Amino acid sequence: MNELEKKIKKLHAAQSEIPLDELKNICTYIESNRDNFTSQSPFFHLPKKEIGTSFPVRVNTLTQEIDIFLDRDRPFGQGQIRIAMRCLQYDREEMVVIKILETTQPRSVAKFLQDAHNLQMFQDEPGICPVYDLQQTKIDDHDHVEMIQKFYNRGSLRQFTQNHTPTAKQALSIIQQLLITVSHLHAKGALIQDLGPHNVLIHADNDSVEMAIGDLKMLKFCDQINPDTFDWAIAFKFAPPEYWKHVLNITPFSDIPKEHWQKMDMWGIGCCLWYLLSDYPLPWDETLFFDPVTMLNSTTEIAEPKDSESLEYLLWEMMREDPTQRIGAQEALKKLRLKY
């Protein structure tokens, strides 16, 4: 087997959805022409017709990596200020997700870089999505930033449960991994805030499953929070009751004792456990307009289960209305391990 055949075999093993004949065309073209890949621009695309592929192929002159984009019609993910594209990297020989931000707004760049910084800060902790690279440049007077992260084949926990019924073993594994990750971050004094089924990534093969938190842009350290000026940064759909009480001027954040601030994250874990256990959506999951009164009423109507030994009871302990009464991550993990 020659070097070209070895490369094709390795890239094909990455299960990128690229048909084998197109993958052969891409590899053959790159190996024959790579010495001529030069440009003054940070990125440039190779000619698809000449290669014999329908997939965009881009040369990154900043890193010399070659990116084969899989999302031809629309981005894999899209937020207010950035898009996410699935990509097979030629030299890394691995599927990745490239998060791309292009803007003239310095504040947007700062938030994007803060997310990358927070993720990189916790790379040694379990359950944090690996960041392979971060690149910042300018294109046509726009700030262009890219963050390359590990690819999780089932997407978010929300997507995973929409397309797949988790086994009991998978559900237990996911929630245990998530509690371990959150326990580690809480021990370091962090408040994650933006935690829920939208921000937990899943990779599953057969019955084995791996999870990771994919975004930490809203993370704050409790010692750096001024409770009188606390700026809530949270996904409305997975916001706890105390957020809606704050919005309605019922209970300000400053009324929550500092030792219970991290219990806000437990609500998000409870939402994840709900998605894993229930065939029914969260009571407010179909809400399109997040009216604070409606959301407060919905998030405070979760009934206490009768079986105190069940996973449903642990879920209820995570989603109690009063954050001072919610179970903490370390205690929840201990309970889970003792029972299961």
Least confidently predicted of 41-50, 63-72, 178-187, 288-297: 288-297
- List the domain boundaries for the chain: 3-150, 157-339
Confidence band (pLDDT; 50, 70, 90) for 253?
Answer: very high
* Structure token digits, residue 293: 């009164």
Confidence band (pLDDT; 50, 70, 90) for 196?
Answer: very high
- Assess whether pLDDT exceeds 90 at residue 280: no
The pLDDT score that the predictor gives to residue 245 is 95
Distance CA 256, CA 258 (A): 6
The pLDDT score that the predictor gives to residue 121 is 97
- Assess whether pLDDT exceeds 80 at residue 78: no
**What kind of fold does domain 157-339 have according to CATH?**
Transferase(Phosphotransferase); domain 1 (1.10.510)
Q: What integer is the mean pLDDT of 83-98? A: 95
Distance CA 184, CA 124 (A): 10
Would you call 51 helix, strand, or coil by DSSP? helix
Instruction: Indicate the pTM of the whole model.
Output: 0.93
Q: What integer is the mean pLDDT of 272-298? A: 87
**CATH code for the part of the protein at 3-150:** 3.30.200.20
Helix, strand, coil tally for the chain in percent (to 5): 40, 20, 40
Q: What integer is the mean pLDDT of 285-296? A: 83
The pLDDT score that the predictor gives to residue 80 is 66
The pLDDT score that the predictor gives to residue 52 is 97
> Which residues have CB under 8 Å from 318's CB, separation 6+?
266, 267, 269, 270, 273, 326, 327, 332
Distance CA 109, CA 190 (A): 22
129-179 pLDDT per residue, tens = 999 999 999 888 888 999 999 999 999 999 999 998 999 899 999 999 999
* Structure token digits, residue 57: 């192929």
Distance CA 87, CA 301 (A): 43
The pLDDT score that the predictor gives to residue 236 is 87
Least confidently predicted of 137-141, 214-218, 240-244, 264-268: 137-141
